[in-house]
């Protein structure tokens, strides 16, 4: 009996000497910086998607199949205006993030609304361009060049559309709950996504439109 007590006492002392395991509390479902890391991984996967689309356009961008070329189709003035809309939306999003830093809910919502307006202008002009090209007979099935063009530019436009939906939902959340920790984290993720789309569009403007008219 004494041997059993001695063994149990030694086991208890040994377990007390071991460091306590750290468990994640149930009321904190997001580890610190976990969301940012996950979102960076998502952006890297999106980079791979656009890299594949750019590579496809690079291979097929001169396959006109006796159809219209980029120099015949692209209106650089219209594209330049559209580029300005998207770049301005990135600047106004930066202003929204500055107002977020000082806890100004109304200022944050105002600049997010301006950002959404410029984003809608960008999408409106892009849809007008697509409609104009299709009216001219420059449809995606006309040539490999047009298939690659509509796929690349359309994928970017689809990302902008999802970004605008996200923006509206986030504005509703901020208006309802204010600049709580969760909404600040969501704003940070949307900011990274929006600026990423700007960088991609600069590549589209240079690689597709500018080189297309040469």
Average pLDDT, rounded, for the chain: 89
Q: For 65, phi and psi rounded to 5 degrees?
A: 50, 45
Return the structure tokens found at 9: 């006492």
| Predicted confidence (pLDDT) per residue in 106-151, tens digit | 999 999 999 999 999 999 999 999 999 999 999 999 999 999 999 9
Say if residue 26's pLDDT is above 70: no
Q: Are 67 and 136 in contact (CB under 8 A)?
A: no
* DSSP type of residue 23: -
pLDDT per position as a tens digit, 154-170? 999 999 999 999 999 99
Cα end-to-end distance, the chain, whole Å: 95
Mean pLDDT of 24-30: 53
Q: How far apart are CA 130 and CA 157, in angstroms?
A: 11
| Calpha distance 161→120 (Å, rounded) | 8
3-class SS at 127?
A: helix
Q: Given its phi and psi angles, is residue 24 left (phi above 0), alpha (psi -120 to 50 degrees) or beta?
A: beta
Burial class (CB in 10 A: 0-12, 13-18, 19+), 115: buried
* Tens digits of residue pLDDT in 63-102: 999 999 999 999 999 999 999 999 999 999 999 999 999 9
Does the structure show a pLDDT above 80 at 31? no
In three-state secondary structure terms, 186 is helix
Query: How many angstroms separate the CA atoms of 183 and 114, rounded?
Result: 19
Contact 82, 137 (CB under 8 A): no
How many angstroms from the chain centroid is the CA of residue 100? 19
Q: How confident is the model at residue 206 (pLDDT cuts 50, 70, 90)?
A: very high
Whole-model pTM over 0.85? no
Q: Which token pair is 169?
A: 């939902």
129 vs 123: CA distance, rounded Å: 10
């Amino acid at each position: 009996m004494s041997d059993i007590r001695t063994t149990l006492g030694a086991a208890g002392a040994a377990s007390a000497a071991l460091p306590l395991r750290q468990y994640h509390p149930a009321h904190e479902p997001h580890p610190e910086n976990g969301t940012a890391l996950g979102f960076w991984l998502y952006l890297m996967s999106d980079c791979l998607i656009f890299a594949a689309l750019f590579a496809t356009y690079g291979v097929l961008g001169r396959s006109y199949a006796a159809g219209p070329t980029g120099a015949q189709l692209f209106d650089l003035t219209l594209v330049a205006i559209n580029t300005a809309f998207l770049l301005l939306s990135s600047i106004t999003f930066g202003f929204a993030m500055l107002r977020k830093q000082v806890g100004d809910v109304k200022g944050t919502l105002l600049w997010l609304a301006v950002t959404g307006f410029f984003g809608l202008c960008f999408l409106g002009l892009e849809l007008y361009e697509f409609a104009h090209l299709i009216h001219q007979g420059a449809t995606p099935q006309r040539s490999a060049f047009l298939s690659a063009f509509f796929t690349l530019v359309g994928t970017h436009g689809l990302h902008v559309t999802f970004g605008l939906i996200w923006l509206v939902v986030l504005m509703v959340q901020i208006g309802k709950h204010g600049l709580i920790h969760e909404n600040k984290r969501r704003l940070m993720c949307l900011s990274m996504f929006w600026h990423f789309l700007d960088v991609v569009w600069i590549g589209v403007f240079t690689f597709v439109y500018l080189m297309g008219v040469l």
